[in-house]
Structure 1
Amino acid sequence: MTPTVKAILDKYEGTSAAVKGNLSRILMQGRLGGTGKLIILPVDQGFEHGPARSFAVNPAAYDPHYHYQLAVDAGLSAYAAPLGPLEAGADSFAGQMPTILKLNSSNSWATTIDQAVTGSVKDAVRLGCAAIGFTIYPGADKIFDMIEEIRALREEAEAAGLATVIWSYPRGGDLSKDGELALDVGAYAAYMAAGLGAHIIKTKLPTDHIEQKDAVAAYKDGDWSTMAKRVAHVRQASFAGRRINVFSGGAAKGTDAVYQDARDIRDGGGNGSIIGRNTFQRPRDEALAMLDKLVKIYKNEE
């Protein structure tokens, strides 16, 4: 374990040695191992958006083994997916890559802003996962049900020695579309995930928009002109940087935009990227080249 990783883990007071061990598995894995930076490959889009929308542009990606192998060959920190895709490659790739079992999922036809629980902590233990993952939608009508679900699942995961990753994506209620990515809302979402006991927090990169009228005064004297400064504020909201923050890669975009996001995350003190569509929707060689450059950015080599 490097001094950097030890310093991160020392901030997780009240956390069992088993959970810290699994966090260390992720933090010490791959080409960013020991740096305190992470790149995680999440592949839940087939469930969330549909297989053709997710994989038709790169048909090899219909196969769950493709994503396992991509994460291994790129030297990433972890691979996150729902139950079925992880089961489909668990034996072939056992021990090669820390995995995160995403325990809830939605689909593109849903009329409510909610997700169904689609896996269990027992599944995560059986599959040798390092962590569970769970999405909450702050602002949604069902948010309190989601909070109660993750409270119970996190408690069970802690008892089993697994870390918890919370995807905290504000939407619903009185939030405007711009508000979903607003700086004040994103910081609030990160704090809420930290408050629920997340060991790793996943949020979206925020804009400089301030959504909540009651928050305008608190933000009016700040300089939020750059993404790096906004990332730093989200880190501040995550218990003053005591929790690991990774930021979503979002919808497919150009390579320059992906690289700039990583530089902004790095410069703002974020812990890295959780990036899916922007890699697996590209041909394998292009995806590996992109991930190689992202690693170099986080290692301050680019």
Structure 2
Amino acid sequence: MASYSDHSADTRALLRHECKTIDKGLLHQPGPDFLDRCFVPSNRTPQVLRSLGQLYHHGRLSGTGYLSILPVDQGIEHTAGSSFGPNPMYFDPENIIKLAVEGGCNAVATTFGTFGTVARKYAHKIPFLVKINHNELLTYPNKFDQIMFGSVEEAWNLGATAVGATIYFGSEESNRQIVEVSQAFERAHELGMATVLWCYTRNNAFKTADKDYHVATDLTGQANHLGVTIQADIIKQKLPETNGGFRDLKFGKTHKAMYESLSADNPIDLTRYQVANCYMGRIGLINSGGESLGDTDRETAVKTAIVNKRAGGQGLISGRKAFQRPFAEGVQLLHTIQDVYLDSEVTLA
């Protein structure tokens, strides 16, 4: 692990960590045969298996069982100006696709509009992951709700390999979103596409004066469990930072094991609980790369990738750290993330 000697002490400590919560032997571990082990016995059709194969066998991580996805839907979720202001070239959607291709990604996740402008040029060059719902911020005052921006059939006509959607679990609108997305995923599977679910928690009560439980592993883990229940093929989740959401906010059902033996304070242990809630890794967990903070992005990206990989996750879906910097630097950052998953010395904790 000498290649990480120039990184922070925190990163080096993550490489030495031994997980004493959920044993790695219980996990369905990523690997070249992951689809054969975990999806061939399932109800997924040959067409869906083919789409999953396209995702797992593209880019620099092809055939490893790991995923590196470039997501660019922030133009809707965060406004286009705030997202592309640091690098205006990405107002042109073709540059988003170019970044994913040059960055060696397994797939690119973005909007109907982006894919619609370049579909014939790139549908055969990189798998398309069409994000079918969004939270838009033009409504005033802002509201937080995921609404459909198009149909599953429209995504299929664009040449999509997969569709993606977000559910704000815990929100007032979550029941409607669960129904909408589960129906959309059923239709996507009928058409032969894979499905990816952004399993985010959202409720004002989840954030207190001293702690943000939106990134608590017990809440996010349960969101993951709901996501795999509606047959998402891949789960996207924020990296956990704490625990105790159900316990401290005094709702839901808990067991002392959730806070004593199934998780611990180390980020790898917190993330392993998320993996466990993805059917012990039968459904892959990819964590989000988070916002761009400038000079620390490379270190943070490496740290996040190490946490995800050593916990039993399957990769990162990282956008702003890549597209909010010069093109060549964005490509290099994506390669840096992928290098962690290509490094045989970074193993399960």
TM-score computed with the length of structure 2 as normaliser: 0.83
Give the corresponding residue for 1:120: 151
Question: Given residue 264 of structure 2, which amino acid in structure 1 is its aligned partner?
Answer: W
Which of 124, 148, 155 pairs up with 2:186?
A: 155
Cα distance per residue 1:128-160 (max 9 Å; x no partner): 111111100011000000011012111111110
Percent of aligned pairs sharing the same letter: 31
Give the corresponding residue for 1:135: 166
Question: Given residue 252 of structure 1, which amino acid in structure 2 is its aligned partner?
Answer: S
Instruction: State whether residues 8 and 36 of structure 1, in contact with CA within 8 Å, keep that contact through their aligned partners in structure 2.
Output: no
Which of 235, 240, 260 pairs up with 2:280?
A: 240
Give the corresponding residue for 1:269: 312
Give the corresponding residue for 2:259: 220
Structure 2: runs of 5 or more not aligned:
1-30, 248-252
Instruction: State whether residues 243 and 270 of structure 2, in contact with CA within 8 Å, keep that contact through their aligned partners in structure 1.
Output: no
Moved over 4 A (4+): none
TM-score computed with the length of structure 1 as normaliser: 0.95
Taking the aligned partners of 1:216 and 1:234, their CA distance within structure 2 comes to 16
Which of 114, 117, 132 pairs up with 1:103?
A: 132
Give the corresponding residue for 1:7: 37
Cα distance per residue 1:162-196 (max 9 Å; x no partner): 11111010011632261100110110111110011
Taking the aligned partners of 1:292 and 1:3, their CA distance within structure 2 comes to 23
Instruction: State whether residues 165 and 202 of structure 1, in contact with CA within 8 Å, keep that contact through their aligned partners in structure 2.
Output: yes
* Counterpart check, 1:295 vs 2:338: yes
Which of 81, 88, 92 pairs up with 1:52?
A: 81
Question: Given residue 151 of structure 1, which amino acid in structure 2 is its aligned partner?
Answer: S
1:5 Cα deviation from its structure 2 partner: 4.0
Alignment of 1:35-50 (within 5 A): 35-50=64-79
Q: Which moved more, 1:130-139 or 1:206-215?
A: 206-215
Q: Which moved more, 1:111-120 or 1:14-23?
A: 111-120
Instruction: State whether residues 210 and 216 of structure 1, in contact with CA within 8 Å, keep that contact through their aligned partners in structure 2.
Output: no
Instruction: State whether residues 208 and 224 of structure 1, in contact with CA within 8 Å, keep that contact through their aligned partners in structure 2.
Output: no
* Counterpart check, 1:175 vs 2:206: yes
Taking the aligned partners of 1:118 and 1:183, their CA distance within structure 2 comes to 30
Q: Which moved more, 1:224-233 or 1:192-201?
A: 224-233
Give the corresponding residue for 2:50: 21
Taking the aligned partners of 1:143 and 1:192, their CA distance within structure 2 comes to 11
How many pairs were matched up? 301
1:113 Cα deviation from its structure 2 partner: 2.4
Give the corresponding residue for 1:202: 236
Taking the aligned partners of 1:137 and 1:94, their CA distance within structure 2 comes to 30
Question: Given residue 305 of structure 2, which amino acid in structure 1 is its aligned partner?
Answer: A
Q: CA RMSD in A?
A: 1.7
Taking the aligned partners of 1:140 and 1:5, their CA distance within structure 2 comes to 33
